[in-house]
Amino acid sequence: MSQFNLENDWSNRMWKAIGLNNQFTANELKYFIQKDQLPPFTLAYFPDMDHQLHKNGPKERKGIEEMDKQLQMILNTYPSWEEAIQKAVWIVHGDSGQSAVINDRSKALIDVNMLLDEYTFWQPDESFDKQLALAVNERMAYIYLQDETIKLSDISSKLKTDSRIGFIAWKKGEISYVTAAGSVR
């Protein structure tokens, strides 16, 4: 979130997301490597691919190819890639950004309240005497069972009726369970 490379101004403009772009991140990393000042722990965020993958869906290749070029540029800052892996530990990590996002909200929005309409839901301004509590964002939902008489399998069965739900997961003790629409369990 800071700029150290004074020559990196072009990637830090308002129209370039004020530095929240791959080029800015790559230039800053390259600067630290060239100055032999790469901190012991460096977390570098490359946001461009996330936007492209959500816009174009899982078949998007351009964003992956562009990210690959950025990584090559960073690694090429060292005399060799062998030296790059000797001088630093590199962990490349992505989120679930390769899932498609439907633009039509009427088709994309999954109304969990409707799927589970036979249950009562806790609201922030109420007491905790309801059966379920929901925590929902754009990609996922956490469903907290407040009523111990409700079976997880019943909730799962109702959610599996909507094919847009990628998977349903829960943990019971030390065992994690995962199911999806179309699966037997």
Instruction: Please report the pLDDT score of residue 15 as a whole number.
Output: 42
Distances (CA, A) of 74 to 34, 55, 68, 127: 10, 26, 10, 53
Q: What is the pLDDT of residue 94?
A: 66
pLDDT digit of tens for each residue in the chain (185 aa)?
A: 566 665 655 555 444 444 467 888 888 889 989 999 888 888 888 877 776 776 777 777 787 788 888 899 999 999 999 999 999 988 877 665 556 667 787 888 888 989 999 999 988 887 778 899 998 887 789 999 989 899 998 999 999 999 888 899 988 889 998 998 877 66
Secondary structure string (H, E, C) spanning 106-156: HHHCCCHHHHCCCCCECCCCCCCCCCEEEEECCCCEEEEECCCCCCHHHHH
> What is residue 69's DSSP assignment?
H
**H or E element, residue 171:** strand 168-172
- Give the per-residue pLDDT at 17: 45
Helix H or strand E encompassing 175: strand 175-179
pLDDT of residue 16: 46
The amino acid sitting at 141 is A
- What single DSSP character describes residue 21? S
Read off the DSSP letter of residue 172: E
Nearest Cα to 95, choosing from 153, 139, 156? 139
